[in-house]
Structure 1
Amino acid sequence: MRRLLVLGVVAALALAGCGGGTASDTSAVSAPSPQDSKFVYVANLDIITDWDPATSYSNEVIAMQNVYDSLTVYNPVTKRASARLATRWTSTPDGKTWTFTLRDGVKFHSGRPLDANAVKASIERTIRMNEGAAYIWECVDGIAVKDPLTVQFTLKYPAPLDLIASADYAAYIYDTGAAGSGDLAKWFQQGHDAGSGPYTVASWKKGQQNELTLKAFQGYWGGWDGAHYKNVEFLVTPNLNTAYQQLLRGEISYVQRLNPNLYHAAATTAGVRTLQVPSFQNMLVLFNSASGPLKDVRLRQAMQKAIDYDGLIKKLKGAATAANGLVPEGLLGHSSSIAPKQDIPGAIALLQAAGYGPGNKPLQLTLTYAEGDDDEQVLVDQLTTTLAQLNVQVKAQAMQWNAQWELGKSRDETKRQDIFVMYWWPDYADAYSWFLNVFHSADPISFNLTYLNSKALDAQIEKLPSLVATDRAAADKAYFELQKYLIVRQAVVAVPWVSNYQRAYLGNVQGYTDNPAYPNVVFVHELIPGG
C-alpha cells in the first residue's frame, strides 16, 4: 500500500512470507533457550473473531495464515502469485479457464489427503456460505476435478485467478469433512481447525490474555528439517508500553506494532531488532451518510477539511506516509492527484452554511476507534481538539474491535456512530477490496460503515474485476473516478495516512520479513530460532 516496496532483495524473499523494509539490529543477542521452541506474538486486539475459514474476515488472519494454506501466495518481490498448494497453473488466452496442478502428498491436519476433490469442496463451501471475503470467488462459474492433482476453474468473466487464489481471506483450502457427521460451522467455532499449514490449534481461551496457542503439525508438507519454532503463542496486550516491557524482559518474541516513541527506543536497545516496512494498509475515517447530522454532505466535507493531515504525519514519526486517495501507491488505481489538505476556513464556512460552527449552535457527534492503538489515538486527539475550536463536540470512545464493529453494524440507526475510525487493507493485491467492501451497498451491514446505498455506484464497482483482467488502463481510470466520487463529491471518507509497519522482535529471531499482502502476519515456520 504505500510506496513501492523498498526491499533488501535476497533469494529468501522469493519464498512465502517474504517482504521488506528497513531493519535495525543493534546487537548479536542470545535469548533465553526456553524461548527457542516457542514464538510469542503480541497483538493489541482480540485474536479470533471467527474460526470458520470460509467466513473469517478479521484479526484472526495472523493465526490462520499459519494454520491454513491457499493455492498460491503473493510474492512482493515479483508482484505476482507464487506456488503454495498449487505448484503450477495455466490460463486460456481469454482469461476464463484456469487449471491448477496441486502439490503431491499434502495432508490435512485431520490426516485426510488434500487433493483436487478437497479443493473443489472447500472453495464451493466458501462460495455457498457467501460471507466474509467469499466475494473473491464471485467470478467462478464452475470447478471441475480433472484428476486427483488437477483442478480446473471456469469463470463467468476474465479475472486474475492466480492472484485471487493468494488472498489473505477466503482463499484457505480446508477439510470439509473434518467434523464428520457433525455441523462443520459449529465445529469450527469451538476452536477446531481443518487446515494443512505448519501449525494446528493446541488451545484457545476466548477473551483471555493468552488467547491462542498453536503447535507444530508433524505431517506438514513443508517439513521440519532444521531449526523451527514448534509452538506459537498469541497474546492480547492492549497497552503498548506493557507489550514493550514484555519484549525487553524476553517474555515475548514479537510486538505487532509500537508507537513511534517506543519504536525509536527499541531501535537502539540491545537484544532487540526492529523493522519499518511500507504496507498495503491505510487509515479510514468513515462518515455516517445515512443517519445523524452527517447526512448533510456539507458537514462531512467540513470533517474532511478539519483533519491536519501534514501534522499527523509529523506526529507519527515514521509510522505513516501521506495518503493520496483510497488506493495506496504500488497498487493499480493509485493517483498522486487526490492529496488531502487541512482547510480550517473552508471547514468553518461549511459548518456555518449548515447552521453550526463558531457563533452558532454546537454540533454534537460520536466517534469510535480501536482501544490500544496509539496511532488512532493521535488522530482522535488531533481531530477532537480541532473540532472543539469550531464548536463541534465529539464524544470519542475507544473500543475493542468486536464491540466497535457490532455497534457500527447495528440495525438500530440511533446506535450507530457518526464517525468510524478503522484500518483497511486489500484481500489480495488489488484495490477492489476497498470499493466492494467499504462502499458497495450491503444488507445486512458488514463493512459498509458509511451506509451508502447507490445502485449506480454498485454497478460501477462491480465492473472493476473484468476491467483489471482485460483493460488495465480502463481499470486505472475507473479506480480514479470512483475515488473522486467517494472522497470529493460524496465526502463519505477521509484517508489521513498509509501505515508504515513498525515491528520489534527479539534479536534471536532470524529470517523475519514482512509481506504487505498479509497484514500483520508472521509466517512463523519460515523463521529460524535461537541464532
Structure 2
Amino acid sequence: MLPQRVARLRRLALIGLTGALAVAMSACASERGSGGGADQTFVFGAAGAPKNFDPIFNDDGESFRPARQMFDTLVTYKPGTTELVGDLATAWTPSADGKAWTFTLRQGVKFHDGTPFNAAAVCFNFDRWYNMKGAAAQSQMIYYGDVFEGFAKNEGDATGSPVYKSCEAKDDFTAVINLNKAKGAFPDAFGLTSLSISSPDALKKYDADNVTQSGDSFTYPAYANEHPTGTGPYKFESYDKTNKTITLVRNDDYWGEKAKTAKLIFKIIEDENARKQELAAGTIDGYDFPSPADYNSLKDAGNQVLIRPAFNILYLGINQKNNPKLQDVRVRKAIEYAINKDQLAKNKLPSGAYAQTQFLPNNVPGYTDSVEKHSYDPNQAKQLLQQAGASDLTVNFYVPTEVTRPYMPNPVDIGGAIADDLKAVGIKVNIVQEPWNGGYKDDVQKAGKQDLHLLGWTGDYADAGNFVGTFFGRQKAEFGFDNAQIFSALSNADAQVTPDAKKSAYEQASVLISQYVPAVPLTSSPPAIVVKNNIHNLIPTPLTDERFYTVTKG
C-alpha cells in the first residue's frame, strides 16, 4: 500500500474503469496468488515485428507487447486502469525534497535464469542505463532520455543534466534511487516497460550493452535478440523470423499467479485484412487494433470486440529543419486550418474518436479549453499561405506502412485524407511511404528527413508530461525547432509535485504550444482489441499494455 504522503503527492489517476473493461477478471499485481494453467496455447496476431526484446532499447507497442509478458517493473498499473500498484516493489516512499525514492522489494522472486532478484539487481539495472554511452545510449533516448534527461556521459542527442544520481542497496530488499532533482513524473514513470528489471548475470553473459550503429540503424547484441531474461510470468523460447513467430513459455517459478496457458505465441501479420482472415480461420485467437469498419462483422462472426477508453494522440508532425517556409508560424497554422479533423475522426477512426485541439487527451489533467484553436477553415489557410509567401509550398509527407497503432488503425488511409486536405488549399504533397520498423521511425525521429509526418502516442501513465513533455520538452530531430519558452514551461511543469500546481503549469504550457504550432494535434480515439468467444479473462486497458498471463481458453 502507498504511504499516505505519497498518495497526497501522486497525480490524479484515471480510475474506476475496471468494471467496464474487465472481461472476467479483477486481480491486480499486488494481489496475485498462486495458480496453475492448462497446457494450452494462446496465439495473438501482432501487427508488426519487434525491434528486439531488451525493453530499454525499445519505444513501440509491438516491441513492448512480448516484453511485458517476460519482464516486471518496480511498480505497475492496476489492470484496466492507470492506477499505480506494486509489482517488484511492495511499497515506495519519497524523501521530503522528492530527490530520493525508497523501495521495499518483493521477496522470493527469481529471474528466469534462476538468479535471485534483490536490491543489488535493481541498482545494477539503474546504473546500467545511466552509464550507457555511444550507440547504446542513443538507442534508448525515447524513454530513458525523456524521463532521466541525460546520462553519466552525454553524447550525440543527449545534452541534458541527468536526473538520476545513484542507487543504494540498503539491504537485500531495500533499494534507494537518488535523484539530482525532484521530478513530477515519479513514481508513475517507474512503471514504464523500458524500465523493466533484467537479470544482471544475463546482461553480463550476453554482452547486453554492445550496440553498434551504422548510419541511422542499430544492431543489437545476443541479450536483446535471443536471451531476454526477466522475472515475468512467461519466458522467452524462440523468435522464428522466417515464420514470423515469437514463442514464450510459462514461467513455472513465477512469484505471482502462474500463466494460465503453457505457451504464448505472437504471430506477426502486418496486413490488417490478413489478421482478420486468420482469426476467422482459427489460426490466431485474437489481434489488436481491428479496423473500426470491421467491428460489427467481427461481432457477427462470434468474436469479442473489446473497446478501450481513448488515451492517445494522433498528430501531424512538422519538421522545421529542412524547409525554411515551415519556420513561419503562419504556414504551420495554415496547415492546421487546412485539415478537416472532424471528418478524419468520423471517417477514418473508431466510433468515439474526436478531433483534437491540443496534445493531451481530454481526461488528463492539463487539458484546457484556453488553447488557441485553428479549426477547419480552408479559406483562412489559403490567406495565411499567401501572407507568408508560401502559396507554392511543397512538402515531403512521410507515412508509415506495415503498422497499425492505437491512434492510427490505417496510416495510409489517414495520410491520404490529410494529403487531400492540404492539396485543396494549394499545397503540393509528395507522399513518402516507409515500413514502420524498416526505416520510417529512424528517418523521422532520428534523421529528420521529412517535412511532415504521421505519428502519435498512447499514454504510459496519467501525467501530462508523458504526452507534451515527451513531444516538445527538448530539441528533437523529429520537429527541428528550438523554443526556449516552451522548453522552460514544460520543465517547470515537470518539477511540480502537487496535482493542482502540476495541472495549472501544464495548462499554461499547452497554451504556448498551441500558439507556436510545432505540430498539428489531429485526433484521440478509443482503440479496440478483438478475441474469439472462447477467450476469457483478458482485461483491456487504456494504456494498451495488456498482460496475457490471465487468459484462458475454453
TM-score normalised by structure 2 residue count: 0.82
Give the equivalent residue in structure 1 for 2:224.
189
Superposed CA deviations along residues 314-345 of structure 1, whole A, max 9, x for unmatched, are 21341623324111123221224446521111
Single out whichever of 142-151 and 243-252 deviates more from structure 2.
Answer: 142-151
User: Aligned pair 1:210/2:237, yes or no?
Assistant: no
2:551 maps to which of 520, 527, 531: 527
Q: How does 1:81-480 map to 2 (within 5 A)?
A: 81-129=84-132, 130=137, 131-132=140-141, 133-135=143-145, 136-137=147-148, 139-159=163-183, 161-169=186-194, 171-181=195-205, 183-185=207-209, 186-206=221-241, 208=242, 210-224=244-258, 228-270=260-302, 272-292=303-323, 293-315=325-347, 316-318=349-351, 320-338=353-371, 340-357=374-391, 362-372=392-402, 373=404, 374-402=409-437, 403-409=439-445, 411=447, 416-442=449-475, 445=476, 448-467=477-496, 469=497, 471-480=498-507
Shift of 1:218: 2.0
Residues 43 and 234, structure 1, Cα contact 8 Å, conserved in 2: yes
Residues 312 and 378, structure 1, Cα contact 8 Å, conserved in 2: no
Q: Separation in 1 of the partners of 2:260 and 2:425?
A: 56
Change (3 A) 1:324 1:4: farther
Residues 247 and 265, structure 2, Cα contact 8 Å, conserved in 1: yes
Shift of 1:348: 0.9
Change (3 A) 1:50 1:279: farther
Q: Separation in 2 of the partners of 1:149 and 1:222?
A: 17
Change (3 A) 1:168 1:182: closer
Which amino acid counterpart does residue 399 of structure 2 have in structure 1? Y
1:495 maps to which of 516, 521, 542: 521
Change (3 A) 1:78 1:94: farther
Unmatched 5+ stretches in structure 1: 19-34
Superposed CA deviations along residues 85-122 of structure 1, whole A, max 9, x for unmatched, are 11222334443332211111110011100011111111
Which amino acid counterpart does residue 449 of structure 1 have in structure 2? E
Residues 2 and 279, structure 1, Cα contact 8 Å, conserved in 2: no
Give the equivalent residue in structure 1 for 2:212.
none
Which amino acid counterpart does residue 491 of structure 2 have in structure 1? E
Q: Separation in 2 of the partners of 1:323 and 1:236?
A: 31
* Equivalent residues, number: 492
Q: Separation in 1 of the partners of 2:457 and 2:490?
A: 17
Q: Separation in 2 of the partners of 1:4 and 1:382?
A: 35
Change (3 A) 1:173 1:229: same
Q: Separation in 2 of the partners of 1:139 and 1:330?
A: 28
Superposed structure 1 runs of 4+ greater than 6 Å apart = 1-5
Shift of 1:410: 5.5
Secondary structure class of the residue paired with 1:231: strand
Residues 99 and 153, structure 1, Cα contact 8 Å, conserved in 2: yes
Q: Separation in 2 of the partners of 1:5 and 1:368?
A: 39
Give the equivalent residue in structure 2 for 1:508.
534
Shift of 1:76: 6.5
Single out whichever of 93-102 and 502-511 deviates more from structure 2.
Answer: 93-102
Single out whichever of 119-128 and 95-104 deviates more from structure 2.
Answer: 95-104
Which amino acid counterpart does residue 354 of structure 1 have in structure 2? A
Q: Separation in 2 of the partners of 1:320 and 1:235?
A: 28
Secondary structure class of the residue paired with 1:462: helix
Change (3 A) 1:3 1:264: farther
Superposed CA deviations along residues 131-178 of structure 1, whole A, max 9, x for unmatched, are 331243454433211211111223333345332221232x20111221
Change (3 A) 1:8 1:176: same
Give the equivalent residue in structure 1 for 2:513.
486
Shift of 1:45: 2.5
Single out whichever of 348-357 and 2-11 deviates more from structure 2.
Answer: 2-11
Q: Separation in 1 of the partners of 2:456 and 2:192?
A: 17
Q: Separation in 2 of the partners of 1:177 and 1:424?
A: 34
Q: Separation in 1 of the partners of 2:30 and 2:375?
A: 36
Change (3 A) 1:219 1:244: same
Q: Separation in 1 of the partners of 2:390 and 2:95?
A: 59
1:74 maps to which of 74, 77, 92: 77
Identity score, percent: 24
Change (3 A) 1:50 1:440: farther
Shift of 1:435: 3.2
Secondary structure class of the residue paired with 2:85: strand
Residues 464 and 475, structure 1, Cα contact 8 Å, conserved in 2: yes
Secondary structure class of the residue paired with 2:332: helix
Q: Separation in 1 of the partners of 2:206 and 2:90?
A: 33
Q: Separation in 1 of the partners of 2:183 and 2:254?
A: 31
TM-score normalised by structure 1 residue count: 0.85
Superposed CA deviations along residues 492-529 of structure 1, whole A, max 9, x for unmatched, are 21111112112211111111112223x3x331102122
Secondary structure class of the residue paired with 2:531: strand
Shift of 1:264: 2.3
Shift of 1:179: 4.5
Give the equivalent residue in structure 1 for 2:3.
none
Superposed CA deviations along residues 388-422 of structure 1, whole A, max 9, x for unmatched, are 222222122332213111222465x6xx1111101
Q: Separation in 1 of the partners of 2:19 and 2:94?
A: 32
